[in-house]
Amino acid sequence: MDYLKNFSLEGKIALITGASYGIGYGIAKAFAGVGAKIVFCDIKKEFVDKGLASYEADGIDAKGYVCDVTNEEMVNDMVAKIEAEVGVIDILVNNAGIIKRIPMCDMTAAEFRQVIDVDLNAPFIVSKAVIPSMIKKGHGKIINICSMMSELGRETVSAYAAAKGGLKMLTRNICSEYGAYNIQCNGIGPGYIATPQTAPLREKQADGSRHPFDQFICGRTPAGRWLNPDELGGPAVFLASDASNAVNGHILYVDGGILAYIGKQP
């Protein structure tokens, strides 16, 4: 058997939400590198246009759609357009997400709901939209971008942790409900990734020292550094490919070892 062929995504159509930049973009590049047709969405046209320009610069033929993934009607319309214009989606990556770093007692219920809506309700909505056609086609792969906050808590991220913990269980439940239809649903739990969103946490201080959070993360990670979005590509390709056909309901933590590490003794 040629095991390398099991990792090919040749001829597959992959939808990655929120993939104009950052983690989603890194995963999309990896998929394109092994043959997938890339389709992505973002909430604003300016983000989609920026993403399309980046894909073109990297030599990737991608198609972008403007869509609010918390809006079920918009999602259903987008999936119908993708099926008509590109084809049935083989791979879905629920990547779009937000975080609000606010102490729990200072956070309003509306702010809490917004995070839950984007980080948990949206993956439910988009998955629900693509599963029927995956059933008809006889196969499908869904990858939910979870988080170490699917397992851990930390100050100021109560809504995010609640959403990502829920997403972990949604992942397992999609596996439970649709595994019999040859649909595999797994999660990736990234560690701390060097993206534009985390750039302020890595900026040098006025005195030239490292940001305190930067020092904390590098000290807490056995790898001793922030991870690169491209380092999620290999795990994502595995979970999107035939190489993982027997892997279902699993959360693969790509965190540089944080969850395995208690930290250095002071």
DSSP conformation letters of 78-90: HHHHHHHHT---S
- CA dist 65 to 48, 68, 85, 192, 249, Å? 7, 10, 12, 28, 28
Q: Answer whether 184's CB lies under 8 Å from 221's CB.
A: no
CA atoms of 174 and 155, how far apart (whole Å): 30
253 is annotated as an active-site residue? no
Residues 6+ apart with CB under 8 A from 2: none
Backbone dihedral angles phi then psi of residue 248, each to the nearest 5 degrees = -150, 135
Q: Which of 65, 160, 192, 253 is catalytic?
A: 160
Q: Show contacts of 4-7: CB within 8 Å, 24+ apart.
A: 6/241, 6/242, 6/243, 7/34, 7/237, 7/238, 7/241, 7/242, 7/243
Instruction: Order the strands of the 91-94 sheet from edge to edge.
Output: 62-66, 37-42, 13-17, 91-94, 140-145, 183-190, 251-254
Choose among 169, 36, 161: nearest CA to 93. Answer: 36
Give catalytic residues, as residue numbers.
160
